[in-house]
Chain A
Amino acid sequence: MILWILLALLTAIVAAALLYPLYRRPEALAPDNAGEIEVYRDQMKELDRDRAGGLISAEEAEYARAEIGRRLLAAAGKENVDAADAAKASGLRRMAIGIVTVAPPAIGLCLYIMLGSPGLPDQPLEARLANPGNDMSLLVAKAERHLAQNPNDGSGWDILAPIYFRTARLGDAELAYRNAIRLIGPSAARLSGLGETLVVANDGIVTEDARSAFEEAVKLEPGDVRARFYVGVAQEQAGKADEAKATFEEIAKASPPDAPWMGLINEHIAKNGGSAAASAGSAPFLKSLSEDDMGAVEGMSQDDRQEMIRGMVDSLASRLEAEPDNIEGWLRLVRSYMVLGDREKAQAALTTARGHFSADGNEGRQLAALAVETGLPAEGAGKAEAPDAAPQGTAPQGVAPEGVTQ
């Protein structure tokens, strides 16, 4: 509303300024030739000065004087058209007044409504950063500012890397992973994160770089399902069907039978067992929160961490309201609340999630398993159908499904 008042005010000022000369009693017009005459008179004076200073010869001065004199005469002899009579022109002036009154508001308003965004307030970055709410990108920006000044803060890079990955900023993700590995040393999560970034950036091909990252990750933590899975994919893409099959079978052996990634593992076993066709190897990714982020957040200062986690969790929760069918999202939300120590919200989220999915379906089973894992009381059906869900709690942290199930 204030905006409109100010715009109206601005329009009024402009219209008033433009109307002023039309309402004012018209100044008498100087004769047409007054300006010219003045210029030529000055030329005469200049001539005198030049002559007095000896800059030109007497003869030259005489010629010039004669010439300027002719110009002066011609200018003075010009007929002056008299200024229009104020009364005669009143019709025209009324029209001019009409135009000047109507045009600014009419044209201004029409064009502005067509082009402008009156509803949008100013959004200076400092103000937004001071109060980021649950805007994930602002939190990331905050972290980036911190890193720009402290590029050797490895844990900072470590936090940002998976977030970049999920928001499809692959180049940034790769750099962040590499920086984190360089500064705080390799870990299975970082290495397989880097590997996955490289795979996605290369349209699903497990490159040499990526493969060595995964292999190193497996060396560091043999239980890292994600890394092992990609090692298998690499073997598959290299045409080593037997090795790939063995790798996938090992994963299957080590995983609980109802682990969410089992479907995919079985698919790959079948592929390599039957015929060794090249895998599509697609590795899409989830734009949401994972335990990786949570773990990484530990490296931050207490305030930053709380803020960041809350921001991310809130944004996830609000997104899930809009798209409640996202099972991965629900799983993460519940886990996140548990990390934050907010059992009640975790319970509420779990209950809501269970309301959306049938207990018999794959999603229902996953939720039941989660309930066991987190120790939340599972209300309603489903608990009985997940008797051996308990081991899932000890399942490797590198949650393969995020790269695999979708």
Chain B
Amino acid sequence: MIVEIGHFALVLSLATAIIVSVLPVVGAYRRDASMMAVGTTGSLVMFGLVMLSFASLTWAYVVSDFSVKNVWENSHSLMPLIYKYSGVWGNHEGSMMLWLLILVFFSALVAVFGRNIPDTLKANVLAVQAWISLAFLLFILLTSNPFTRLDPAPAEGQDLNPILQDFGLAIHPPLLYLGYVGFSVCFSFAVAALMEGRIDAAWARWVRPWTLAAWTFLTAGIAMGSYWAYYELGWGGWWFWDPVENASFMPWLAGTALLHSALVMEKREALKIWTVLLAIMTFSLSLLGTFLVRSGVLTSVHAFATDPSRGIFILCILAIFIGGAFMLFAWRAPTLKAGGLFAPISREGSLVLNNLILTVSTATVLTGTLYPLVLETLTGEKISVGAPFFNMTFGLLMLPLLIAVPLGPMLAWKRADLLGAFQRLWVFAGLALLAGLVLWYMQNGGPILVIFGLALGCWGMLGAVADLWYRGNFGKLPVMTSLRRLKGLPRSAWGTALAHFGLGVTVIGIVAASAFSTEHVVEMKQGQTAQSGGYSLTFDGFREAVGPNFTEERGHFTVSTGGVVVADVWSSKRMYTARRMPTTEAGILTFGLSQLYVSLGDPMDGGGIVVRIWWKPLILCIWGGCLIMMIGGFVSLSDRRLRVGAPRRKAKAVKAVMEPAE
């Protein structure tokens, strides 16, 4: 009964979505407060219904109700409880449910926290959100219904894909979707504003928290996914330029551009048209990513749940929303007034450069992702565009951007003195280069580009420090005064500095892990020793172990350096009983920011086993940097200015004052 109530709640939320799609728009047009208010209530009702539905599906997973087909296909009664929860979205139907849940969650957030937004704008935003919800509700109910039942019910499920039976599944998709879907709010704001025909600096401020929240979650989601792939897939790689990864990376690039251009719009009311276009493009890329992953046009390490017949449906959603939004844009954009002017060398100018590079690199990634698909469709030829292409194009594009990052925040609005900024930064540039050299010597080897890359990372980090340094006016004022000044800085300034610092950290991680990693593939027998990264690993042999739903052979390694045992590590090969599917569980040892990564290969005839050992120097910087960026996002999000608006009480007062005047 619980399952059926969940199913009904989903159907009911479809009915609600239809109402919320229509009434608030009519209300906004006729300026009818009651009908606009239906948008607010309706969005909350939808969130409640989808929540109920999602909870009942989760319940079916937790109690292993195999009369639900989706549960039978993707769960097993012996699976640990946490995977029963996370397994809900470890499949196509469930992940679409999560998508929907987060979409209506954002609608509900707009409904609750959007009090400072003008009523008509809010009503239209909620209606556009409801259109998207409606499309995905139809998609779920008609092509991917998770509530399909089986009668008679099977006695045991088919188990969740073992690669997904990991804590990563519990975190990565929700974070990623919070980012992906969060951009829907920016899209809705853009469409709503185009419908109303007015976009100004205030609009940029209203959108900013949503962009920032989505961007922050997407950053965390991508980083988490990367780390998950790194430790679970056992290849030692952390980014594969896989289409599914690109699908989440493109909205991130576009979203980063949006974040920066919205800044210009808010401050100077310039770049209006461009910002609106970016808001539409960012969510379009999210939708495109959903299409690529969910339709089954790709077959890659990530695309576990695919069904080609669903592709057409998502393609229609894609065409309607992206096409519709661009048509609206083409119709309305020419009526928008241009905003403030600025000189090429200015804060605005640097942000335009940022946008230029980010959009071009988005286009590059898009090309590299779609080109093989287009080629295969047209000629049937299968090619894969891999790391060399992306490293060449994307890497080159990133160079000027990374150089410019520390300069941007130093420049003044409207017109600025680049030379002055350089003068202020040259000490830090020198320090960065020095730090890069030091790092290079410490790692002992590597081409010139590596030094440059490391220096670039340090440049990013130090640039952020310099930004704070000059804002605090350290060196000219007493230290205490400077610290007080720092404390008084707006949170968004801190956020900027933190995010830019994090970017630098990530760059260092990427450069170091790419340039200094060592890989050893050796056949080892019990008692043998291998060397990697200055550590000796002794293989102590196997032990068999039984997990809740798998059996495993665990290899034990003792790690020593200079004859002293420093650690030990288990690396294992698992066999999941229900699917009879093997997985490798890499053993990972962390030394500072570097990691030793041990993965087991195939057993050999002589009783030995192939062991892959990687030494990954400074690799944790990659994700640590992302973490810092994420923290920067949250700090900026907590800026009180983002909550500013017209509270109701005040609004009435204003009205009261103005009425006599009319």
Binding site for B on A (CB under 8 A): 2-3, 6-7, 10-11, 14, 17-18, 20-22, 24, 26-40, 42-43, 46, 49, 53-57, 60, 63-64, 67, 71, 75, 80-84, 86, 89, 92-93, 96, 99-100, 103-104, 106-108, 111-112, 115-118, 120-126, 128, 135, 137-138, 140-141, 144-145, 148-149, 151, 171
Contacts and interface: CB of A to CB of B under 8 A. Distances in A.
Contacts of A6: 1, 5
* Most chain B CB within a 10 A radius of its CB, from A7, A93, A122: A122
Contacts of B44: 17
Q: Is the interface of B mostly helix, strand, loop or mixed?
A: helix
Given A3-B4, A103-B18, A26 B32 contact: yes
A241 to B, nearest CB: 39
Given A14-B49, A17-B45, A124-B63, A37 B485 contact: no
A39 B120 contact: no
Nearest to A42: B644
A28 B36 CA distance: 12
B65 A60 contact: no
B151 A120 contact: yes
Contacts of A56: 412
Interface of B: 1-5, 7-9, 11-12, 14-16, 18-19, 22-23, 26, 30-35, 37-38, 40-42, 44-45, 49, 60, 63-67, 77-78, 116-121, 141, 145, 147, 149, 151-156, 200-202, 205-206, 268-269, 340, 412-414, 471, 473, 485, 488-490, 546, 548-549, 551, 577, 580, 641, 644-646, 648, 650-652, 654-655, 658
Contacts of A126: 63-64
Contacts of B66: 123, 125
A34 B651 contact: yes
Contact of B41 (A17, A26, A118, A122): A17
Contact of B151 (A108, A117, A125, A135): A117
A149 B77 CA distance: 13
8 contacts: A31-B654, A33-B118, A38-B644, A83-B33, A84-B32, A92-B32, A96-B38, A120-B151
A83 B36 CA distance: 12
B30 A92 contact: yes
Given A30-B119, A115-B11, 8 more contacts: A18-B41, A31-B654, A92-B30, A93-B32, A118-B4, A120-B151, A123-B153, A124-B65
Given A122-B65, A145-B77, A21 B202 contact: no
Ranked nearest first, the 10 interchain pairs of A and B with the lowest CB-CB distance are A30-B651, A21-B37, A124-B63, A141-B155, A137-B155, A125-B64, A107-B15, A39-B202, A36-B202, A38-B646
B421 to A, nearest CB: 14
A104 B32 contact: no
Nearest to B477: A54
Contact of B8 (A7, A31, A35, A54): A7
B654 A115 contact: no
Nearest to A124: B63
A46 B18 CA distance: 42
Contacts of B60: 122
Nearest to A104: B15
Nearest to B42: A18
Given A10-B5, A55-B471, A123 B65 contact: yes
A307 to B, nearest CB: 14
A21 B38 contact: yes
B4 A116 contact: yes
Given A7-B5, A28-B655, A138-B155, A39 B65 contact: no
Contacts of A29: 31, 33, 119
A403 B237 CA distance: 51
Contacts of A135: 152, 155
Given A37-B646, A84-B31, A93-B32, A112 B11 contact: yes
A273 B414 CA distance: 103
Nearest to A109: B11
A120 B33 CA distance: 44
Contact of B654 (A30, A116, A121, A144): A30
A103 B11 contact: no
Contacts of A64: 413
A34 B649 CA distance: 11
A55 to B, nearest CB: 6
A97 B67 CA distance: 39
Contacts of A40: 201-202
B604 to A, nearest CB: 23
A35 B118 contact: yes
A97 B118 CA distance: 24
A110 to B, nearest CB: 9
A99 B20 CA distance: 11
Contacts of A32: 118, 120
A160 to B, nearest CB: 12
A7 B151 CA distance: 22
Contacts of A84: 30-33
B1 A2 contact: yes
Contact of B19 (A2, A42, A99, A111): A99
Nearest to B46: A14
Given A10-B8, A35-B118, A125 B63 contact: yes
A334 B23 CA distance: 70
A35 B116 contact: yes
B4 A35 contact: no
Given A36-B200, A122-B1, A89 B32 contact: yes
B34 A108 contact: no
Given A30-B119, A38-B116, A122-B1, A144 B11 contact: no
Contacts of A123: 65-67, 153
